[in-house]
Chains A and B, each alone.
Chain A
């Protein structure tokens, strides 16, 4: 059972555009992580959010954790081709030390 739904599934945009990826669940998570995975590689952690309503910025990426800790968003400003990849959110329920991954959003940024 997939507990974390991401939208959109696919996104193809041009360099310089802004975009937002959503990660939604009916479950409450003690923390939520965002990863980026490039072809032929494993996911790489971008950020961990813990507190409801928390906002974290990583250069042009802004991450937000929902007030109820059931959802999160990733906003990219002025996308660049280097942002291309599969973006995954992953939730930690805190009851068992394992992550539940979202369905993924595949982003392609073209020149």
Chain B
């Protein structure tokens, strides 16, 4: 079974630009969660989608948004990029809503650098 895939793996943008990251979950998984990982703040939850609906959202500004398609693939968008948005963005998929009963499988992440 193929794992979670994320594209692109690396991205360099400049301040003020916007970016779209893509995540393809494991086949059959309906839940996709997004996390931001930085050296200073660690791994922080962005949002979770299940069956095309956002179910949970972390404490991030509205510049961070996402969506999920009918095939469970998900995208996240960051508008008006700031230097502090430089991070590893991780996507995780699970069969159901991400609780302790449902193992989350993480992708390798997209490394975003904002100059």
Measuring CB to CB, which residues of chain A are less than 8 angstroms from any residue of chain B?
2, 30-31, 33, 40-45, 48, 50, 88, 90, 92, 94, 96-104
Contacts and interface: CB of A to CB of B under 8 A. Distances in A.
Given A94-B99, A98-B98, A101-B43, 17 more contacts: A30-B100, A41-B109, A42-B90, A42-B107, A42-B108, A43-B106, A88-B42, A88-B43, A92-B99, A92-B100, A97-B97, A97-B98, A98-B58, A101-B42, A101-B44, A103-B42, A104-B42
21 contacts: A2-B42, A40-B108, A41-B106, A41-B108, A42-B4, A42-B108, A43-B106, A44-B106, A45-B105, A48-B103, A50-B100, A92-B99, A96-B56, A97-B55, A97-B97, A98-B33, A99-B45, A99-B104, A101-B35, A101-B42, A103-B42
B48 interface: yes
B56 A98 contact: yes
Contacts of A104: 42-43
B27 to A, nearest CB: 17
Contacts of B109: 41-42
